[in-house]
Structure 1
Amino acid sequence: MRVVWLATGAVVAAALAAIPYVSAKDNPESAVIEVPVDADAASLPTLAPLVKAVEPAVVAIEVEGKSEEVDLAEIPPMFRPFVPEGPHRSHGEGSGFVISADGHVLTNNHVIEGADRIVAKFADGREVTAEVIGRDPATDVALLQLDGDRNDWAHVKLGSSAGLEVGDWVVAIGNPLGLGLTVTAGILSGKGREIGHDAFDDFLQTDAAINMGNSGGPLFDLHGRVVGMNTAIAQGANTIGFAVPADLIADLLEELTTEGRVARGYLGVQVQPMDPVLARTLGTEKGALVSNVQPGTPASESGIEQGDVILGVAKRPIADAGDLIDAVAAHKPGEKVSVDVLRDGKARSFQVRLAERRLGEDEPAAAEELAEPMHGKVGVSLAPVPERISEITGTTGGAIVESVVPDSPADGKLLPGDVIVEVNRKPVKDPADAAALLGKGTGAALVRVIRDGTSVYVAVERGDGG
């Protein structure tokens, strides 16, 4: 799914001039159709009172910044006359909303990123410059301060997104395409959406129409409380929009106000999901399976190892990789926490002093002629690891998967090019060693491979072949 962030450039406004319209003069009065209004239609609810109440707190955001010089050699000749020479000023638009009497404004980080001038435009025509107080790229939230000494700004309240239910009515207000204050309505279509922005994705989904320029605008419930901040749309889809939940924003406000940024704990492990066979092999259906431990991180220094299944952080249960990311990030860098793991069927606990998660860094989920004869129990053909691949992967020994028999136990588990480095937590020296370990015993074998440069665990059932 391709996601489009909703800030827009001034060039869009020029395109609006081309939109045709029909004048009232084209419709003679005699052609007007009169529709009788019955009592039921007249009593339909209206959103007008809500819109009038919150309108003074919703703003259009205009930004300016310095663009880097464009290399004209990279631009097709036919377009070069339209490209400014040298550094130039760039312009963009978005939306925002005032959340305090002293002039704090919320918007998206991607709306104001790189801007050196920010102007908030109110529905009554006032224009007020603003400065960035704090921003958090990981959640795409930015907090601004309106210039001036006023402490009586009209503002709206953050509500709670936790109580929202799919199907509840919501209202989006913003500045799409630079048109000015625009209101659309719809329902909450989903919660907890992941759109590939960051490890902390937890977006609300709505079918209220939002467009370019809506970024940073409020999503209201019918009581006029902000339940989300409109952020992105799914490209090519109809009315699939995403909003940052209000509860997530509320958790950030104090730190954004006092520190200007959000500091999150970092453990330093790579984790992967578990399928039923893998879970059965490891003896637990819940937890985050550690597929790799980053060198020099809190995890490696505390004794956490590959193959451990993390079951808890600071007594908070961990059901999956997403739980682990949230649990670790909830603690501050330098804080000492307990990490409970399952290792070889036994429970263990480690005390870990967390580091700071840097931008873009998370506890990531894992990505997905001497050939040894086909091993019947599993269904793979193995060969020695070429020297070049050993250098790239940083492995010593091991066995590379040359081919996988269709419909064999290994089909869908092991892939050609996988480098097998462990079987049942025992290092693999060469193809013969891998074959011996895979052929030993019954039930599922826990296999660690290097795949596309990433350490991954798979559980492979062993058949009856020999």
Structure 2
Amino acid sequence: MSLLSRKLATSLFVLGAIASFAGISPMSLVAADAAAEVGEEFAAGVAFAQQRTVKIYGGGIGRTPGYASGIIVSSEGEIVTASGALLAADSLRVTLPNGQTFPAQVLRRSLPLQLVMLKIDASTPEYFDLKAASTIETGDWVLAVSNAFKVAEGAEPLSVNIGVLSLRTKLTARRGYVDFPYEDEVFLIDAITSNPGAAGGAVVDVEGKVVGMIGKVIESKNTGTRLNYAVPADLIAAFASGQETSPAADPAPSSNEKGELGIRLFALGGRKGPAYVDRVLPGSPAAEAGVKVDDLVVAINGDVVRDSSDFQKLISGIAAGSEVTIDVKRRNELLQLRVTAAPMR
């Protein structure tokens, strides 16, 4: 089936669905034929991906949902997903395709790729072999399988979007333009995947071979537009095997000198009070990174900050020159900031 005929079949399927909903009959026979043809072609890939994609539940904050998706990458309960504040929750859990739910822990992170490796105490014989990734080319069909909008809670099937691979390109998502940094290559895909809960979902070809993983939502602060993209499977494979290194994956301090971020919290409430920012020292690393007064610190390097005591404990071991990832809640936004600690004055 040619690419043109595939696109035509998909268009007829969509138009037929609209006509059927509206009670229009002339297209129904054509749409039914197109739908059958499209369904047969994608059925195997969808079924394969459904058995290897999981639902992840944690803690929501503000407008940030407390749910996401993930892909199983080994038979030993290892799962890769996109970075997010929900992963800092004490009740982080993963629901497998069969509906079983297990507590999960964070093993390691990649700041440049915004990836996180999770581990559950369960056997997962059905997984994506990242070394046998798809050899897909520009213009080929892709399937995006995820728990977008929390369509599934247990053993229900996940949402599936059909699209086309546009291109592979270098992406540098800079702070100030988007809510978090991304520094590597991505697959741009012609499918709407930038939805709540979709991050961490599988992107596969028509046979079910993994193409990549739906990335964390990237939204331009200037235009409000979102990017539909996938982290390529070869980059995920390097991260999963420990070959990809980043400040988050390798947090070894660059010196023995104690570091300073330049953040001062509200004294009201004592050590058990919320970790609200009272002052940001002028010219400090926190000021340069964009931390603002009244921000609520919710996580440091992925570790949840429940109160001021947690904040002080987590920053006490930071060495000068170390890069620290700070998640803050600002009104209804959740922002991730990267701060390089300066030597204590």
Relative to the length of structure 1, the TM-score reads 0.41
Match of 1:53 among 44, 48, 66: 48
- Tell me which residue corresponds to 1:107: 81
- Tell me which residue corresponds to 1:167: 139
Deviation (angstroms), 1:179: 1.5
Matches within 5 A, 1:373-412: none
- Tell me which residue corresponds to 1:193: 171
- Tell me which residue corresponds to 1:153: 125
Matches within 5 A, 1:223-238: 223-231=207-215, 232-234=217-219
Cα gap change, 1:215 to 1:357, in 2 (>3 Å): farther
Query: Where does structure 2 lack aligned partners over 5 or more consecutive residues?
Result: 1-19, 153-157, 175-179, 255-319, 326-345
Cα gap change, 1:39 to 1:144, in 2 (>3 Å): closer
Deviation (angstroms), 1:176: 0.9
After superposition, give the CA deviation of every residue in 1:26-84 in whole Å (9 maximum; x if it has no partner).
Answer: 989xx76673359974544531221112212111111037x7xxxxxxxxxxxxxxx9x
Q: Which structure's CA Rg is the greater one?
A: 1
Matched, 1:93 2:57: no
Distance, in Å, in 1 between the alignment partners of 2:228 and 2:181 is 17
After superposition, give the CA deviation of every residue in 1:189-248 in whole Å (9 maximum; x if it has no partner).
Answer: 222233325472322211222112111111112231222111124456788402212111
Distance, in Å, in 2 between the alignment partners of 1:183 and 1:260 is 34
The answer to whether the 8 Å contact 1:176/1:182 transfers is: yes
Distance, in Å, in 2 between the alignment partners of 1:225 and 1:264 is 33
Q: Count how many residue pairs are aligned between Structure 1 and Structure 2.
A: 224
Distance, in Å, in 1 between the alignment partners of 2:185 and 2:30 is 43
**Structure 2 residue identity aligned to 1:225:** K
The answer to whether the 8 Å contact 1:134/1:256 transfers is: no
After superposition, give the CA deviation of every residue in 1:120-170 in whole Å (9 maximum; x if it has no partner).
Answer: 12343322221111112232111111124xx34321222577954322221
Provide the identity percentage: 27
After superposition, give the CA deviation of every residue in 1:324-367 in whole Å (9 maximum; x if it has no partner).
Answer: xxxxxxxxxxxxxxxxxxxxxxxxxxxxxxxx985379xxxxxx
After superposition, give the CA deviation of every residue in 1:394-431 in whole Å (9 maximum; x if it has no partner).
Answer: xxxxxxxxxxxxxxxxxxxxxxxxxxxxxxxxxxxxxx
- Structure 2 residue matching 1:125: 3-state secondary structure: coil
The answer to whether the 8 Å contact 1:198/1:360 transfers is: no
The answer to whether the 8 Å contact 1:99/1:156 transfers is: yes
Cα gap change, 1:175 to 1:256, in 2 (>3 Å): farther
Matched, 1:122 2:96: yes
- Structure 2 residue matching 1:262: 3-state secondary structure: coil
- Structure 2 residue matching 1:53: 3-state secondary structure: helix
Cα gap change, 1:233 to 1:159, in 2 (>3 Å): farther
Match of 1:243 among 224, 230, 250: 230
Matches within 5 A, 1:323-334: none
- Structure 2 residue matching 1:46: 3-state secondary structure: helix
- Tell me which residue corresponds to 2:107: 133
Distance, in Å, in 2 between the alignment partners of 1:101 and 1:54 is 15
**Structure 2 residue identity aligned to 1:201:** D
Cα gap change, 1:113 to 1:127, in 2 (>3 Å): closer
- Structure 2 residue matching 1:248: 3-state secondary structure: helix
Deviation (angstroms), 1:98: 0.9
Distance, in Å, in 2 between the alignment partners of 1:142 and 1:264 is 14
Compare relative contact order (CA 8 Å, sep 6+) and give the higher one, 1 or 2. Answer: 2
- Structure 1 residue matching 2:59: 3-state secondary structure: strand
Cα gap change, 1:136 to 1:237, in 2 (>3 Å): same
Matches within 5 A, 1:350-365: 358-359=322-323
- Structure 1 residue matching 2:58: 3-state secondary structure: strand
The answer to whether the 8 Å contact 1:193/1:204 transfers is: no
The answer to whether the 8 Å contact 1:162/1:247 transfers is: no
- Tell me which residue corresponds to 1:263: 250
Structure 1 range deviating more: 116-125 or 91-100 = 116-125
Matched, 1:202 2:185: yes
Query: Where does structure 1 lack aligned partners over 5 or more consecutive residues?
Result: 1-23, 68-82, 84-89, 268-355, 362-466
After superposition, give the CA deviation of every residue in 1:269-292 in whole Å (9 maximum; x if it has no partner).
Answer: xxxxxxxxxxxxxxxxxxxxxxxx
RMSD value, Cα: 4.2
Matched, 1:177 2:160: no
- Structure 2 residue matching 1:36: 3-state secondary structure: helix
**Structure 2 residue identity aligned to 1:213:** G
